[in-house]
Chain A
Amino acid sequence: MERIYFDHSATTPVDREVAKVMLEYMTEKFGNPSSVHSFGRETRKAVEEARQSVAALLGAAANEIFFTSGGTESDNLALKGIAFANRKKGNHIITTAIEHHAVLHACEYLEKQGFTVTYLPVDENAMVNVEDVRNAITDKTILISVMFANNEVGTIQPIKEIGQLAKEKNIYFHTDAVQAVGNCHIDVNELNIDLLSLSGHKLYGPKGIGAIYIRKGVKIESTQHGGSQERKLRPGTENVPGIVGLGKAADLARIELNQRISHLTNLRDKLIKGIQEKISDIKLNGHKENRLPGNVNISFLYVEGESLLLNLDLKGIAASSGSACTSGSLDPSHVLLAMGLTHEVAHGSLRLSLGRGNTEDDINYCLEVLPQILERLRSMSPLNANSKLAANNPCSQCDHH
């Protein structure tokens, strides 16, 4: 069966050039970068070059990049590291209701440690209002953490304006840019970002590697203790193959960025348009213009996203759903609920996240298969029968949940 991958927000395939250079640093060049001898020196050099590559992608200086195990660790380090290092200054953190769990759960942990966290709401497009951020600031606020682009609905936040506000108020500004790096133009200086999290496997690099950008002079403490690697901020022998792979992936992202954005935007708009033309009773989730170039998130009324997802899988199309149970979590998407969607509409959501390997043929195949699946599911859906009676507001029956 032909397989089509539309789940690049979950992870991306490692670029062959990336894999090739990584293999070299697992086999021939295996030294510990902390070692004095030539074996150590050659891997140290590679690590520093990779640091330079990541910095170049973000418009940062190399010594402002620290390697971690991925987005979750970077988010945890940013939140806990800033909170604990600055608690004499204040105990208030501002974030949003639609953050990744790495941020939300780290915030919940900090609340248990005596910090106060404000979770800002978003509008129906998952957009944060800069004035809400301004109004939430108190004299105890030490950190604002707002994601660059949402992983589910793709909405890109007004990062520059929030960063400007934070700068004026002398508050640190962190952004979880895991989905945005490699998909959006990012310059940490132009956007007034103090800390930024990124992950290797979302930009055609390997899993298990990520980085955090920390502006020079930001007061942060380590959450992990050990040796002096990563200037003691993130001790532990460097994941050299991962770091080298991330460096290579960052180089490719920088070179190909414009091309990737235009390719993905083109395919994305074709897919959205095709679905809108072929399938009735749908709702595009997320901002129409300010969204990730490869993100399509649509609620199909009267069906469960889970059934949709599994039927697509049986047809070889890999997608994702806010309601599917894949890793033990059964909660409906907190992002869709924060946008004001009812449980039923949230349950009918499907995310198709496109990547650089996708083609027009992939989109056409999807547009051929998806309407067939929808037609079958809707013909047997009890939600459908009920909702036809209340045609004006098909989602009016959600209060029983």
Chain B
Amino acid sequence: MSTKPRVLVAMSGGVDSSLTAALLVQQGYDVIGATMQIWDKDVPESDAENRGCCSLSAVDDARRVADKIGIPYYVLNFREMFEDTVIDYFVAEYGAGKTPNPCIACNRYVKFEGLLQKALALGAEYVATGHYARIGYNDTLGRHTLSKGIDHTKDQSYALYHLNQNTLKHFLMPLGDYTKVRTRELAAEFGLSVANKPESQEICFVPDDDYKGFLAEKSPDSLRPGNIIDVHGKIVGQHQGLPLYTIGQRKGLGIAAGKPLYVVKLDFANNQVIVGSNEDVFSSELIAEDLNFITIDRLEKPITVSAKIRYGSREGIAIVTPLTKGSVHVKFFEPQRAITPGQSVVFYDGDMVIGGGIIKNSV
């Protein structure tokens, strides 16, 4: 019998969560594996290329790993919660003129809060995930902390800034101390069949990555064609619906112009795509709302941070100033490219996550 507490490992069928489960078993935890079933496809899956994170083939992979390392494994039903929170949010955000980040919403409401509730219901003390981030406790602050994984190229702390003191207390992320390369090596050493599985990138609930088809079905009003105008207000082309464009995008505008044109802004009020030069895509200030802070209870005075405005972007030094109504003003020292409403901005102090919020608009 193991003496360590029970832990529920969120298994996606990928190499990261598989290794997480294997490591915790090795460390003597009473491990249960679980996959969240959040999206139901109507057609039989015979397509071996289908590697979305919630596909039945992902379940098969996770189950194989669980059998291999000898732990009980369950598929948990999260469909209603997922539909109510993530899909409705995704569609509503597009409708409201923002670029939603469904993975952040899924992480926040389903993968963390929802899974923690299930884990506690199963008598587990912890939930473990395969994220490249480190959870710790800082005695000086007297708080649970979240830091970047030691493999900065794979760091996923950006997507986790919403974790609060109560959730952090119950989560384990052992891979924060490993590099991705080491993860694959260890997975191979454990004999896990998923050691060399490619990473999945698509937004898992949009079949075949077909946003247009998905939105046409779920939110047909969001796909109204309209004008593409330049920064001076001149009509230069036609768009197929604002949700199909992203700020900073260059390709696929269908405009023949002398110089390269980029999407600068999506004007939902007037159903217009505004294009301009690459320089026009840069700005230095933004307003963020829906904030969560980890190292502090709340922001009471301006602080200097290193801030990141999207998963793949580089951090920039910025001053964060509290505003009324729980929002903040963020001023970067260097202009940032393609600040996008709906994406998250995350504040760091070195490797440690201070907190973050959702970008309301650039200024």
Measured CB to CB, the residues of A under 8 A from B are: 304, 306-307, 310-311, 313-314, 323-326, 328-331, 376-377, 380, 401
Contacts and interface: CB of A to CB of B under 8 A. Distances in A.
Given A304-B121, A377-B121, 5 more contacts: A310-B74, A314-B123, A329-B40, A330-B37, A401-B80
Nearest to B30: A314
Interface string B42-79: 00000000000000100100000000000010111101
> Which of A310, A313, A377 is the most central at the interface, judged by chain B CB atoms within 10 Å of its CB?
A310
A377 B122 CA distance: 9
B120 interface: yes
B118 interface: yes
Interface in B158-194: none
Contact of A307 (B72, B79, B122): B122
A5 B56 CA distance: 27
Contact of B76 (A311, A314, A325, A380): A325
B77 A311 contact: no
B72 A314 contact: yes
Nearest to A382: B117
A325 B121 contact: no
B117 to A, nearest CB: 8
A7 B183 CA distance: 39
B77 A324 contact: yes
Interface size class of B (residues with CB under 8 A): 10 to 19
Given A324-B77, A325-B76, A328-B59, A307 B40 contact: no
Contacts of A380: 117, 120-121
25 contacts: A304-B121, A306-B76, A306-B77, A307-B118, A307-B122, A310-B74, A310-B122, A311-B121, A313-B72, A313-B74, A314-B32, A314-B122, A314-B123, A323-B77, A324-B77, A325-B37, A325-B79, A326-B75, A328-B37, A328-B75, A329-B40, A330-B37, A331-B40, A377-B121, A380-B120
A328 B40 contact: yes
Nearest to B32: A314
> Which of A311, A326, A328, A329 is the most central at the interface, judged by chain B CB atoms within 10 Å of its CB?
A328
A331 B80 CA distance: 10
Contacts of B120: 380
Contacts of B40: 328-331
A371 to B, nearest CB: 15
Contacts of B75: 325-326, 328
A331 B120 CA distance: 24
Given A330-B40, A330-B79, A307 B59 contact: no
A329 B37 CA distance: 9
B77 A325 contact: yes
Contact of A311 (B80, B117, B122): B122
Interface string B133-171: 000000000000000000000000000000000000000
A341 to B, nearest CB: 16
Interface of B: 32, 37, 40, 56, 59, 72, 74-77, 79-80, 117-118, 120-123
A372 B308 CA distance: 48
B37 A307 contact: no
A76 to B, nearest CB: 16
A332 B37 CA distance: 14
A362 to B, nearest CB: 21
A326 B75 CA distance: 6
A328 B62 CA distance: 13
A311 B123 contact: yes
Contacts of A324: 77
Contacts of B123: 311, 314, 376
Contacts of A326: 75
Q: Which 3 A-B pairs have the closest CB atoms?
A: A325-B77, A307-B121, A330-B79
A363 B37 CA distance: 32
A317 to B, nearest CB: 13
A325 B59 CA distance: 11
B127 to A, nearest CB: 14
Contacts of B74: 310, 313
A20 B120 CA distance: 45
A342 to B, nearest CB: 13
A325 B122 CA distance: 16
Contacts of A306: 76-77
A350 B75 CA distance: 17
Given A307-B121, A380-B120, A330 B72 contact: no
Nearest to B124: A314
Contacts of B72: 313-314
Contacts of A329: 40
Contacts of A311: 121-123
Nearest to A401: B80
Contacts of B118: 307
Contacts of A310: 74, 122
A328 B59 CA distance: 9
A328 B122 contact: no
A324 B120 CA distance: 17
A401 B84 CA distance: 9
A378 to B, nearest CB: 11
Contacts of B80: 401
A4 to B, nearest CB: 16
Nearest to B60: A328
A178 B175 CA distance: 49
> Which of A325, A380, A401 is the most central at the interface, judged by chain B CB atoms within 10 Å of its CB?
A325
A54 to B, nearest CB: 32
B31 to A, nearest CB: 12
Contacts of A377: 121
A60 to B, nearest CB: 35
A237 B35 CA distance: 40
A324 B74 CA distance: 10
Nearest to A330: B79
Contacts of B32: 314
A328 B38 CA distance: 10
> Which of B72, B74, B79, B121 is the most central at the interface, judged by chain A CB atoms within 10 Å of its CB?
B121
A382 to B, nearest CB: 9
A323 B37 CA distance: 12
